[in-house]
Structure 1
């Protein structure tokens, strides 16, 4: 991946993260880029072994073909849906790009910012759940935190289906 743009997309396979991925694919990603999917698991569920080693640094890069393997996806605790996988496979073929995923465990705000620096990413696209002001004040906004603290340009794709 030396010398190429590394476009990060924060994904949790929710509607807002799929919207962010779709926006990145349609408006940002160009031929020869690398898409790095950043997934953060809030809880660590693993047996003794290699995954304990990855808790601090994140998983190794997981290829798109490995991500499509139900056994490997289950091993990492991710559940990619068919729509997301189809979108990724299509863009990988059409734009001749590399798609990989890296999984982190812990607080999404901190781990996404950590991923930006450690990978390092050229830019990051993240969805916004569209929380109202009260919920955002109580729960905190991951996208707002990353936009203010990330060490690269951050594009926030807003969920505009409802106001709140």
Structure 2
């Protein structure tokens, strides 16, 4: 029997993260895997209470059935959209996959690398916004940082070009 795989996917519910999630579901995830969605929220925009306890370590693992509940999603400050939830529920139905989410607060680059080590992840899939060279130098690229600093294999999924 193969070792348990923990596949991470960075999600922020943007188009780019949905492309990465779809790619992972179609090309990487197989029966018996754990799919761990890693979401990073900006710091400082939360009420005092439970989230302050999790600031250093990230949230507890949240099962798919819970983070699709609007009350739970609001509690953690995430806004999963219908399309993302549909991708996940379809994946859970088609394959025997455990789907959970972990939320971190802070800089996405650092927190994704932290998640790789702390969970720990077998590999991680991240989307790419497709920044040009100048913007990437000025703004920094989350995917570039993760590729260069991660301690596990990283797959960067670019959104396909659309001709208008």
Q: CA deviation at 1:158?
A: 1.4
Specify the alignment match of 2:160 in structure 1: 160
Specify the alignment match of 1:12 in structure 2: 12
Specify the alignment match of 1:28 in structure 2: 28
Aligned with 1:32: secondary structure?
coil
Q: TM-score, normalised by structure 2?
A: 0.95
User: What per-residue deviation string (whole Å, max 9, x for no partner) do you get for residues 78-112 of structure 1?
Assistant: 11010110110110111011100000000000000
| Paired residues of 1:130 and 1:160 also in contact (CA < 8 A) | no
Q: Aligned partners of 1:140, 1:24: CA distance in 2, in Å?
A: 24
59-68 vs 46-55, which moves further: 46-55
User: What per-residue deviation string (whole Å, max 9, x for no partner) do you get for residues 101-141 of structure 1?
Assistant: 00000000000000000000000000000011111111000
Structure 2 residue runs without a partner (length 5+): none
Specify the alignment match of 1:136 in structure 2: 136
Q: Aligned partners of 1:42, 1:161: CA distance in 2, in Å?
A: 28
User: What per-residue deviation string (whole Å, max 9, x for no partner) do you get for residues 57-97 of structure 1?
Assistant: 00000110111110110111111010110110110111011
Aligned with 1:156: secondary structure?
strand
Aligned with 1:26: secondary structure?
helix
User: Does 1:114 find its partner at 2:118?
Assistant: no
Q: Aligned residue pairs: how many?
A: 161
Q: Aligned partners of 2:44, 2:36: CA distance in 1, in Å?
A: 21
Q: Aligned partners of 1:86, 1:47: CA distance in 2, in Å?
A: 29
Structure 1 residue runs without a partner (length 5+): none
Q: CA deviation at 1:44?
A: 2.9
Q: Aligned partners of 1:107, 1:49: CA distance in 2, in Å?
A: 21
Q: Aligned partners of 1:132, 1:159: CA distance in 2, in Å?
A: 14
Aligned with 1:96: secondary structure?
coil
| Paired residues of 1:7 and 1:34 also in contact (CA < 8 A) | yes
Aligned CA RMSD, in angstroms, stands at 1.3
Q: TM-score, normalised by structure 1?
A: 0.95
